[in-house]
Structure formats: C-alpha cells, structure tokens
Amino acid sequence: MNCIIRFFYIIYQLCIALPIILLATILTALTTSVGSILGNPDVWGYYPGMIWSRIVCTVLLLPVRRIGLENIEKGKPYIIVSNHQSALDVFLLYGYLGIKFKWMMKKEIEKIPLVGAACRRAGFIYIDRNSIGSGKGSIAAAEETLARGMSMIIFPEGTRTGDGKMSRFKKGAFLLAAELGIPLLPVTINGAYRAMSRKAWHVTWFPLSITVHKPIEVEREDNTDESEINARIRRLSDKTAEVIASKLD
C-alpha cells in the first residue's frame, strides 16, 4: 500500500505540483524584480518569496511545524544560522521563520533565469566560493546589510549535507557576528533530508519542522590578536553547532 501511495505522490508532483511551482516561481521572480526596482527591496525581497515558499510546501502537501518563534525579537537584526539538510530548507526558512532577512547564497544561483536577477535586485548577496576577492566583497556587502538593521541568513556548513549529518561550521557567519556585535539566531531544521536528500530527484512525503533557539548574544570583537580572534570564533561556532544539534532528530 505504501508503494502505491508513493507512486501516486510522485505522479502528483510531476503532473500537478511541478507546473504550479514553476508558475509560482516565475510570478514571484517577476514580482520581486519589479517591486524592488520601483519600491523598497527590503519589502519586495521578502513578502513575495515568503508567499511563494508557503505555496510550494502546501502544493507538495508537506506539513510544517514551527517551534520557538517567541525567541525572535521583532525589529532586531540577527545573523540567522541553520543546519542545511535539503533544497527544501529555503522554503522552510523563507516561508515560516516570520522575519525579514537577506540571503547569502552561492554564486551559481545568479545563473538561474529570472530568479538570479530577482535575488540580485532584492539585495541578496552572492558569494563565489572559488574567488577570494569575491568573498571579501560579499563579506563587505553583508556587513553593510547588517549594519543598517537587516537580518541575514547564512548556512554555516556551506553546502547541503550528503548523509543527513551536520558538518563542521565554517567561520564566516561567526566572524561577521563578532566584528559587528550582532546576535546569532540558531535554527534547527528537521525532516528536510528525509523529504528530499541531496541526490533525490523528487520529494518523499515527510513532516518538516523548524526550531528557533534563543539568540546567542555576541560582543563586538576589539582584539587585534589573530590567534585569539580565531579561538573565540571557533568557540562561538562550536557553541552554535551544539545548540542546533540539540534539537536534531
């Protein structure tokens, strides 16, 4: 019986869900681009994407549970850090976290027709992991975004998990937090790997959840000793990873 249900769920995705998602993606990209040109990119870069993400999860029949939203203080900027299980993570955070933010995303997304241009006009930050110069420019853009009070999402693992386990965090997000004194907002994603792993070509039905932890306050780094800075960043990274892992299924 389960095999039959899975079969019809895949057929449903291909024949019904996929066309709706493609249409919603095109409309969202166009709305975001036009709105960001004519209006405020902070508004048009968030609300169309939030609605789009909820449409995607609803059309895919994926239930989403939100835990710990009371830990978010409205109007306060955060560096939001989350484990990265699946392509579905984008829809979970965009659609259900409930605060405006900018994405820091890999450069390859800029090549996607309509979507890449919409993200650029919305003020999202691309980072080329193969270019040191581009990385420095992206960090400077991220600092400017955070300094004006806008939150930012970074996946500190750098890429989606290949086996469902959380990889060791890279230091970029934590260096930003220390340089600007911006609190970290840890978020745990569950279920997304089971629903759509990195190698999967379709979604497997599975309940999803995001757990928002209490913010980790970060004091601005004034130390100039590189070894001490690196040690502090690593402690901050390890503490955040421990918090996120504490709610992993």
Select from 204, 213, 207 the least CA-distant residue to 190: 207
pLDDT tens for the 249 residues of the chain, in order:
588 999 999 999 999 999 999 999 999 999 999 999 999 999 999 999 999 999 999 999 999 999 999 999 988 999 999 999 999 999 999 999 999 999 988 888 999 999 999 999 999 998 876 655 555 677 788 888 888 889 999 999 988 999 999 999 998 899 889 888 999 999 999 999 999 999 999 999 999 999 999 999 998 877 767 788 888 899 999 999 999 999 999
Distance of CA 72 to the CA centre of its chain: 16
CATH label of the domain that carries residue 98: 3.40.1130
* pTM for this predicted structure: 0.92
Task: Determine the residue type at 155.
Answer: F
The distance between the two most distant Cα atoms of the chain, rounded to a whole number of Å, is 63
* Structural domains of the chain, count: 1
What are the Cα distances from residue 13, in Å, to 59, 60, 205? 9, 7, 11
Domain hosting residue 127, numbered range: 2-245
Please give the full DSSP string across 138-175, using - where no structure is assigned: HHHHHHHHHHTT-EEEE-TTSS--SSSSPPPPPSHHHH
Token reading at 95: 């659609």
In angstroms, the CA 241 to CA 219 distance is 18
Q: How far apart are the first and last CA of the chain?
A: 26
Contact 155, 89 (CB under 8 A): yes
In angstroms, the CA 134 to CA 117 distance is 18
Contact 86, 160 (CB under 8 A): yes
